[in-house]
Amino acid sequence: MSQSPAPSKNIFDPVLNICAVIGASVLNMLASIGTLTAFAGRSITHAFSLPFFVSNLGRQMMNIGYYSLPVVGMTALFTGMVLALQSYTGFTRFNAESAIAAVVVLSITRELAPVLTGLMVAGRVGAAIAAEIGTMRVTEQIDALTTLSVNPYKYLIVPRVIAGTLCLPLLVLVADIIGVFGGYLVSIHVLDFSPSNYLYQTWDVLTTNDVVSGLTKAAVFGFLVTLMGCYHGFNSARGAQGVGAATTNSVVSSSILILIFNYILTQVFFS
Amino acid sequence: MTSVPYKIEMQNVAKSFGPKNVLNGIDLQVPAGKSLVIIGGSGTGKSVTLKCILGLITPDSGTIKIDGEDTSFVSGDERDRIMRKFGMLFQGGALFDSLPVWQNVAFGLIHGKQIDKKQAKNIAIEKLDAVGLGAQVADLFPAELSGGMQKRVSLARAIATSPEIIFFDEPTTGLDPIMADVINDLIVKCVKDLGATALSITHDMASARKIADYIAMIHQGKIIWFGSVSELDHSNNPYVDQFIHGRATGPITEKAEYTTRRA
């Protein structure tokens, strides 16, 4: 680009340039949303037609569900514990210590268990999916599937997305229990609450809707995380750099989508 | 239809990626049961030609016929059915690294042809034997094999379903000259045993001479010469002459790609 000010230059040029940049990025974004939607649509239609790779689904459920248990359990335990501790320091000012059990169980089941589990799984599983499928793309393994008459959507993507959608609610159910248990531990052993009172207050405030809304969120997050991992991996650019970018994009985009959909689903359930 | 049965026919196939015209009207006929090798420099459209025939890339225009059936825009289940006629040896092997060797070889049998696992494993071990590998490698993973062995496994996978058409994408690239010759011999043997039609792309002339019945030279997205192997050395085509003798000066290097790199 030359820096010399051309005399014939239109004074609106800088403005037009800015408009062009904004326009280009908006068009880019719309194009990405379009390809992502097409990708999701294709994945879903392939999920409802044969053949179905059952053993792949089993392996993915092991990977996404079972092997995520430790990290999800730790997250839930410490979140429940810190929640009890923080609400105690706040609530003692208003003599409202009895509300701690309610705060712990409602925040865990409605918000924290699904969102934190979703984010942890996005980091653990979404990244791994994007890296694995991206490497398969780069080394022509996906093309090889096609030449062996196996549809890559059915073989690679459908099992992962279904496993994610099924496993996340189960993980969140475990996280709910461990999270409440963490709050219980701190309340009983650090804050000297009565165990029976705490459990009674927990049970008293909890409704089916709290748990069901959390599990529904979890299913949506599981779908999003695995879909984004597959999408970015499947469309990975050539080379190590391409796979690296696919991994990063998968984690960032699924984390953001989790937060956006968390708000939307909360609005749907509780308004 | 012509009197000679062509297995694959390409008519005026064009494909561009953005502003770059990779294929500028490819016309190519592959006779049934023969081995055709496409030669040409890097970036002249060899791989794209193969991928168009396989349907991995959709051409912008032109027709591609397989067994006389137009397949240019076929997808979905129809495409899967056509793909059953094909086997392909990928340049980098493209073995599935999450599966042991025998499952790689048997992949098309188990998933494409729904043969039961035990029987498929026996066929896989047979095919491994055909490419000179013992049954002991069957349970190893691809990452545990050397480059030459991976190529052999990949070849075994390409021939496992007894395809009618086999593609070889730079089969000798990255191998030492002796292993390259071994692979060439295997390719000739396997293609003959199956009675398959073979289409290969390579820039290794020793390999091309060994495995080809016919040779086509591609340059700037067009087939500029076609003939049998025996005609190759007196083609009177300056492009072909420069390529097969590997000269740095000639009509090919006067064009953009090489000159800009040197400048």
Name residues 72-91 of chain B within 8 A of A (Cβ). 80-81, 83-84, 86-88, 90-91
User: Are residues A86 and A72 located together in one domain of the fold?
Assistant: yes
Per-residue pLDDT at A117:
94
Say which residue the tokens 């060797």 belong to.
B101
Q: Which two tokens stand for residue A129?
A: 């999916």
User: Are residues A28 and A102 located together in one domain of the fold?
Assistant: no
Quote the percentage of chain B above a pLDDT of 90.
0
Please check the confidence at residue B69 and state whether its pLDDT lies above 50: yes
User: A-B interface: how many C-beta pairs under 8 angstroms?
Assistant: 52
Q: Are A119 and A224 in contact (CB under 8 A)?
A: no
**DSSP-derived secondary structure letter, B97:** T
Range B57-75 average pLDDT? 82
Please check the confidence at residue A125 and state whether its pLDDT lies above 80: yes
Please check the confidence at residue A152 and state whether its pLDDT lies above 50: yes
Is residue B36 classed as helix, strand or coil in its secondary structure? strand
Angstrom distance (rounded) from CA A221 to CA B251:
59
Residues on chain A bordering chain B, Cβ-to-Cβ distance under 8 angstroms = 51, 136, 139-141, 143-144, 146-151, 155
Please check the confidence at residue B133 and state whether its pLDDT lies above 90: no
User: Are residues A148 and A256 located together in one domain of the fold?
Assistant: yes
A152-161, B52-61, B236-245, B249-258 — which is least confidently predicted? B249-258
Share the mean pLDDT of chain B. Answer: 83
Residues of chain A in contact with residue B80, where contact means CB-CB under 8 angstroms, are 149, 151
Per-residue pLDDT at B9:
85
A-chain residue closest to B157, CA distance: A148
**DSSP-derived secondary structure letter, B136:** G
Summarize pLDDT for B186-212 with one digit per residue, the tens: 888 888 888 888 889 888 888 888 888
Q: Are A262 and A172 in contact (CB under 8 A)?
A: no
Per mean pLDDT, which of A21-35, A40-54, B71-85 is the most reliable? A21-35
User: Are residues A249 and A149 located together in one domain of the fold?
Assistant: yes
Find the domain containing A40 and state its range.
Answer: 13-49
User: Are residues A28 and A83 located together in one domain of the fold?
Assistant: no
Share the mean pLDDT of chain A. Answer: 89
Residue A191 lies in a domain: yes
Angstrom distance (rounded) from CA A139 to CA A126:
20
Residue A5 lies in a domain: no
A-chain residue closest to B113, CA distance: A149
Per-residue pLDDT at B67:
83
Please check the confidence at residue B261 and state whether its pLDDT lies above 50: no
Per-residue pLDDT at B224:
86
Bridge partners (DSSP) of residue B222 are B219
Is B192 at the interface with chain A, CB within 8 A?
no
Angstrom distance (rounded) from CA A200 to CA A254:
37
User: Are residues A43 and A173 located together in one domain of the fold?
Assistant: no
Chain centroid, CA A124 distance in Å: 10
Is B96 at the interface with chain A, CB within 8 A?
yes
Range A39-52 average pLDDT? 85
Is B111 at the interface with chain A, CB within 8 A?
yes
Residues of chain B in contact with residue A159, where contact means CB-CB under 8 angstroms, are none
Per-residue pLDDT at A174:
95
Which spans in chain B are helix H? 46-54, 76-83, 101-107, 117-130, 147-160, 177-194, 205-211, 238-245, 256-262
User: Are residues A33 and A81 located together in one domain of the fold?
Assistant: no
Q: Are B187 and B168 in contact (CB under 8 A)?
A: yes
Summarize pLDDT for B140-183 with one digit per residue, the tens: 898 888 888 888 888 888 888 888 888 988 888 877 888 888 88
User: Are residues A32 and A70 located together in one domain of the fold?
Assistant: no
Residues of chain A in contact with residue B104, where contact means CB-CB under 8 angstroms, are none
Q: Which two tokens stand for residue B239?
A: 């492009």
Residue A2 lies in a domain: no
Q: Are B201 and B46 in contact (CB under 8 A)?
A: yes
Q: Calculate how close chain B gets to A35, using CA atoms only, in Å.
A: 17
Nearest to B112 among A140, A143, A149 (CB): A149
List all residues 6 or more positions away from A45 whose beta carbon is below 8 Å from its beta carbon: none
Where are chain B's structural domains? 6-85+164-262, 95-162
Handedness of CA A256, A260, A263, A264 (dihedral sign): negative
CATH of domain B6-85+164-262: 3.40.50.300
Please check the confidence at residue B262 and state whether its pLDDT lies above 70: no
Angstrom distance (rounded) from CA A26 to CA A35:
14
Per-residue pLDDT at B258:
52
Please check the confidence at residue B5 and state whether its pLDDT lies above 80: no
pLDDT-derived band at B2 (thresholds 50, 70, 90) equals: very low
Per-residue pLDDT at A163:
94
Q: Which two tokens stand for residue B136?
A: 């002991």
Summarize pLDDT for A78-116 with one digit per residue, the tens: 999 999 998 888 888 887 777 888 889 999 999 999 999
Quote the percentage of chain A above a pLDDT of 90.
53
User: Are residues A162 and A94 located together in one domain of the fold?
Assistant: yes
Nearest to B80 among A136, A141, A151 (CB): A151
Q: What is the largest CA-CA distance in chain B?
A: 59
Summarize pLDDT for B91-120 with one digit per residue, the tens: 888 889 888 888 888 888 888 777 888 888
String of DSSP letters for B155-193? HHHHHHT--SEEEEESTTTTS-HHHHHHHHHHHHHHHHH
Nearest Cα to Cα of residue B120 among B128, B231, B232, A150: B128
Range B132-142 average pLDDT? 85
Domains contained in chain A, number: 2
Residues of chain A in contact with residue B157, where contact means CB-CB under 8 angstroms, are 148
Range A132-159 average pLDDT? 90
pLDDT-derived band at B257 (thresholds 50, 70, 90) equals: low
Residue A3 lies in a domain: no
